[in-house]
Structure 1
Amino acid sequence: MEQVMTKRRYFDIGLQIEELLYSGVFEAGGRLPSERELSERFKTSRTTIREAIIMLELKGIVEVKQGAGIFFIDNPKKVSQKEVMPFSEIGPFELLQARQVIESNITGFAARQIRFNELRELKHIVELQEKQISGDSDKFEELDRQFHDIIAEATQNRVLIKQSAELWRAVRTENPRWKNLNYKYLHRKDLQVKWVEDHRTIFLALQQRDSEQARLAAWNHIENSKKELVKIFKEDHSLEDFDDFFFAT
């Protein structure tokens, strides 16, 4: 049976823009049309154009200068498909699903292994996060990472520690669509309050050495993130982009 492979719109649009750049329409170092103009030209939404530009930026073909626009780079750095494709081609929703399955089980296992000093560190991080609500978003983000790192380390299993770290990078730092959404929306005060409450619930389950409650608390924490993503997306974007944004190419 013949299998038809399709790419998402942002990927197709990105390739079309790339072809346009190298066709001589734009000179190296030149400024590209705005997102709005590109959106009209390619008859697609600005969200799809934004994702296409992020893809080209990762490939080193364009540079986005804040307040100045999008520029065609003269000597693009060569980035192999192997380096670009893994996380940039996977939507944030899928990555969160993977993290939910793996990290909830890591947390459940950590409840059996966790040491007193690790519990004390987690408690301290929750307290620091609470103080950073509506404060330094980057600091809040870093404390979030530390919280999940400590739980993984509490398993005393190097494979699980490595898996947890790779998933964090995939979801929070190496996926352009998640990174864009995270910095634009998920540092809101109401969501930060929710994440701290979730972390406190996870901490209490770990403190009680309750493996099932710890697993469930971690599962619910990421479930809350998934629900907020869907809610935010439906509020701010057209539904035609929903599939492009959340799922794999």
Structure 2
Amino acid sequence: GGGGAGGGKQEVDAYPSLALALAEAAQAGQRVVLMADPRTLTLPWEALPSLRQKVGNPLPLVTRDLGVHMLLSRAAAAGGEMAPKADPAATTFIVDPVWEDEESTASENPRDGSRNAFEAFQKRAKAASQWKGVPGWASVPSEADWEGCLTTAKAAKAGARGAFVYYGPGRVGAHFLPSRLPTLDLSNAGAVVLLDRYFNDTCFRRQTQLDNMKKGHEIALEGPEELAALLSLAGAGAVALPQWAGSAFERLAALGGLAA
């Protein structure tokens, strides 16, 4: 039982059933899928002590899903595989749609902008050199470009699917119409990776101006949980996106992780 006033906080690790289930899953090489109800979906469950990686205590892969029916639907679309797969070479992308992330030359915090970072990533990752898409420094993607990149990631390998990757500042959902996602067929997309929600002054000002012209329900559809649901309903095999805002360095590190 939990302690009262002055009784100290109760750690989730105190529940032996949860700790035991995680240990058994890790030992068996299984993964854990979290399914939270809408009221608790936005909570950072992965930060719980029982779900954090510890030295000498390997944890299973922890993912989320919207419900049992959606999980089984993904598995059916992937030929019975519980973990949807995507061919890295069959990937489409959109990067920094209006080119707002320029390099920082500040001596205390220098970093590459989106163009240099993405081009360097493509040189490091062999498969990424074959990706096709729209970089914001070449042109601003239209609504048709967004829909085309999301729906045409076809894999050459039999039984595999392609992927879509977005990398850029601001909210990705502010660059296209999320309400149109359920009308698209994303069955070719085995994975949708959205590396957004880092901000600078330029994109923050533009985002604020756009938000002032939108209705509340339109902004709500740009939220991470809502986008994940809409993309999943459209047929995406897996959706990976940040739930909260982060730094440009964090998103750049996540982009680099795709080369692994």
Q: TM-score, normalised by structure 2?
A: 0.28
Kindly indicate which of the two structures has a greater share of residues assigned to strand: 2
Q: TM-score, normalised by structure 1?
A: 0.28
Kindly indicate which of the two structures has a greater share of residues assigned to helix: 1
Between 1 and 2, higher relative CO (CA 8 Å, sep ≥ 6) is seen in 1
